[in-house]
Structure 1
Amino acid sequence: MGRRVLWLVAILLLLPMTSSANSETRMTVDGIAWFDCDDSWAAIFDSQGAEVANGSEFTASLGAGNHTFFIENDSRCQSVIPLTSDLPNLRPAPSAAFDAVNVTACEQPLLNPNCQATYISGDLIDDDSDIFAIEVDENQIVNLELLAASSAIDIDLHFQNSNEEFALDSSISLPLNTSIDLTYRVIVPAEESGRIVVTVHSPNPSAIWAVNVEKYSTQETIYVSDLENISGIGSASFAVSSGDDQSLIVTDSVSLDGSEIDFKYRYVFTSTSTSEWVNGSKGDRISGIADINHIEFKWDCNCEWLATMERQTHYDANWGMDAPGFKPLSATSNNSSYPLIVMDGHSEEGELTLHMGDYQDILRVETTGWNESVHLVDVIVEGDIYDIQVTIWNMDQESWDILDEMTATYSMDRITLSLDVGLGTHFIRIQHVNGSDSINSNGDSIEWKIRVTTAVLDEGDEPWFPPTDAVKDAADVFYWLIGLVLIIPFIIFYINIRKTRAFAEEFARKKNRLQWLTTKLDDGSYSPSDLSRALRSVSTLDWEEALEVWGQEDVRHFTTGIDLAVWTLDGRLSDDGEWPLLIGLRPQDCEWSVAALKFESPEGESWTVSKVEPKLLKRSHEIFLDTIHDNTRVFIRVDLRGNAESVDIHLSGMVNGEPMAAKPANTIYRTVENSEE
């Protein structure tokens, strides 16, 4: 009696401190509870707080109702608590109705590590066996774990569909009661819909037992984000992403008991296109390939398992991808996938991934400068390079032909080579000496480090400036504007010539145009522009035709080198009594230079030139004609101011470098009455 009081006092003292961690209240059914502890103890209290039982090993008969179970150390005790009503003791026929226990289907442990198991308990007192059923669908798997048994026990499993029953190989058989430190479980995959019938029996008619039942789906594909924590139960599909420049190494693949397990994998291109399954095991490397959605894994184990993987990237020169193995097809091809090596002497790393078919890497270098410049490209490659050769290609920037190349292999702990190249894009090839024969699915990667420097050997031709598209567009507009500016005066000139020629032809249709001018003066329709325009127009006609247009000349002087004609115009054409004259000149077979006309009065005061049309340099009684070209027709209106009644005209100048002068033999008189023959 005293010992029981001490136990009760100890429980009452410890209960407030440990109730949250080591005690729970459960609704029990009528049945037998069993506890077995090693270096620990347990106690049971009814709904009123009265102790039902306590100790390190005991059985207790419990009625239906709430009971509180206190366990000092969960890990050192095993127990059976009566939570399940009496179970049938006869296995049903496949087609017979039979109430199944309620087991919720859970997602894979990787998605839901806290699957709620169904607790089932029973005793074989007055029974040969206890039987219960678990409904399953295709692509589900059942995990049945024996939690505790008070004596020897056997658990058999059968699968039933609507027509047939099959005995399953999975079973549990113990000659003695369960051990606290051991785990007893069977995992049963369902290949079709139906039910799994569980039969529990024992040679001991007072055996007490308890199991946990979990049911998982293996149908969904699970996408893995944490490669260091992959877990599952059964052969569910796991999807792992991988690029074509990456590989996966399976670093661990074991069941919960530590046994290594194999797996299989395949490449998934689309939802309807996959590769064949390939078997794998711990330590295998799975290489990524181009244009896949993911790699699908399945573990060949009807067990709960754990796996880890390591992702390796096989990038070259910090380019985020593996360098291509062949140079671009043409100068216009997109070469952005080729790693660009800046030629400043810094180190870039890469590898030839032989197990992925990568036996050569093509790197890109670009030289800048003026046209026709020459650059020295110096390359140093170091690392695990005993079986590597390096080549520099000098590319023609238009035809994309290889103009020159330099190749070197391992020597004195490195590979060194250099080549003179032109302006533009060129390539460096790092290749295994055995070429494509070096590819090996189990081969190791060959790592390399490269340093590239450059120097300008010839600066080339300096351009005025590198034209931009904006400058080119502006130049096109400028050229059009300049073209218009240059052609418009020509068009205007051509139009004026056409008009002048047309006027001259019209003017020439009627002869004696001087009389026509007199008539216009008489009727008051004369305009000063009439004569000016006539002078310009008539000069475009032939000489004899032009003379006929003006009418009978007053004086004509025809001698070697010059033909000169003079007409006296109507005095009303001038102001203040001045004497207007019309003079026509045509050099013949020579050119007059530094030519001048001089007007002299044979009697009376001298003449002064007051007006000349077209505008010519004049001084006193002289007009300076400058140069008169061969066969040129020149018509000049001259107004003379003075009181004399006659005038002699002198023409002087240089002909073929010699001075020459011409003077009409007849004097020109102002009035007809005073004229001479």
Structure 2
Amino acid sequence: MILAISCTLIGVNAQSEEKIEMFSYSINTTGPVWLEYNCQQTACQGMELIVNNSGLIHKNSDPHTVEWEGMVEGNISWQLLVEEDISEELIEFDSIISNEVWSEKRDLPDIVPSPSEQEDFEEIETFSQCQMNRCQSNDFEAEGVFFTGALESLNDKDAIRIVGNEGDVLLLPNFRSSSEMEIEIWMRNDEIKERIESLNSGHDTEYFFEYPEGELWLRVIASVETEYSTYEFKIVRYDANRESLDLRELTNPWTHGDALAFNDTYHGHISASDTEGDSILIELGSKMEIKPICHFSNDFMMDIIIHEINSIEIKYLENISSCPEIINSTYLTNSIEFRIKSNITQPWSIKINTDSYGDGKNIGDAPDFIWQPGTRDGRWELVDSEMGEYSGNLGIQDYIDIFAFEITHENGSKVYFNDTEGEVSFKILVLNQTSGAIINSTDQSEIIVPQGIHAIRIEKNNSSSDIVNYRFRAPEIREYQIENRELEDLSRLFTNFYIIAGVMFLTPMIIVIWWNRNTIFKGDKNNIQIEQHELIMLNRLKDRIVKKIDKEIILSSLHQLGDSPWDSVIQEWGKPTLRHMTENLEICLWKISNLDILLGIKINRHAWNLAAIRIYSSEGELVRIDTITPEKIFQEDEIYLDSLKPKSNIFLKIALKNKPTNMNFQISGMVNGEPVAASSNKTVDWEEE
């Protein structure tokens, strides 16, 4: 259809000098056309519509409304004339113009054919592919078909078949006509035909309905007596068998492969007869806070399922009738599923937003532990120098992020950080490729790393719960060349040094033996008796604590341990699993069982205020505390100790919820008004202890 528009203010001819041409149009089309101009004030004097339909001139004058309608085959042009004092803003234009492709070419049947009739009836194919994320927002306006027709009298009616299949969802967004009409929705199959619904002209709200069993017909009838009336309706069909991205019917639960991309809006349509419903699976990351945006036109029921690593499903919410404002994913989450059901045919759309997409290039929080050998998956992002800059943050209860990098050269490579930013520490961890153990590490200085996949550890510089942002580029990796040089044995040059060093190392031992000669060779009965008495008492206390007897007895035993000499406790309990000493404190940790530990803290000269200790695992699952005796305030892996008096000992029995991979601790607090923190410089493999 070609449309030429002009708007001029020139005289039409000498016979109508008092009028001006306000609008002038010319189009080429085939089918029914209706034109109407309305005056928006009391009257528009001199308003006249002149229509030229393939050489036939039609004129219509009226101060309120002028209109024309009829069948067009070829070119039609028209002019609107008004008096000079009438402005364009006072004139309202409305029209129905055939689009040539979908219009009434010949008179349609007056009624929906009976079930027995089998003819080549005219039909409309109105399939739309705008489901899921296959269309942009502006594509939705162009989908479907506009059909134009005309009723030549009150007795004339038009019926037309709509192509489709049972279960398809159809949309009738509007129905317009030059005079009052109705559009009826009919079902026809091999046995019966019946009317399903009826809508009046002027209908401009979206009406969704389901394709029936058999055939779908639309029938247009006049509501008032008229000689000729033009109508137009839009119809859209959403194929139930081509809903998903793999062009199948959406299933519930999801069976369409990988999760959909995170940052997109997904559209669908559910029919009342679809008892299983629809579902969509969208990718999601670890420990994310998301805000779902859901749109439904009617009542619905929905389940939200969190999908975790190793195909574990968690029912987050069930049978809800509105979208939650916030959803928090677990630390093992890799996707989220929305399962939808409804007894009403309607459209739906779902999108999820977040204020923080996560760490690195992936969505979600980076893990805070190192993978076990052979188990690294997409949670541990493999940084790549070609991917540019990486960024992330460490927030509340988030102290560590772990990334991975790969060395491909068989002789290893020299690795170092060249571009980092943030109040965090960056460490390169060299891993044993068989056991997964950390065999070497460095901060931002250069280190030689063997072939394989190794770890980057990013950690807060303090135990603050404030959010700390960081950024970095992938470590610089340079090839390491091994120099092939012959080695010479020069040990003969150091013989005299070995003799002198041996004498120096043995001399202190000889002095100690001389000072303790009476105890060693003659014996000191009093000291032995005191030591034996202490050991007997401490042995009883140890039995009470280890055997998990009455809580009050354990509590009393721990208090007695605190009053006992520190060195005697260590002698009875044996070598601590973890031990850390500074000028002002000493911390010892003993492993009672895989899920029970004894923690001892000795304070020397200065008191500690606002003290807290964190027991954590640098690899594997987060340490989770179950109970503490005596009772202390704790959260996850952190214990609040409050004030610790000088020259005092405190012992805690700690029960864990889970078995850690390894164990470490960090203590912080205020000493003499200054913040102080200390952590063990050794990590113990818990399974080997």
Q: TM-score, normalised by structure 1?
A: 0.43
CA radius of gyration, larger in:
1
TM-score normalised by length of structure 2? 0.42
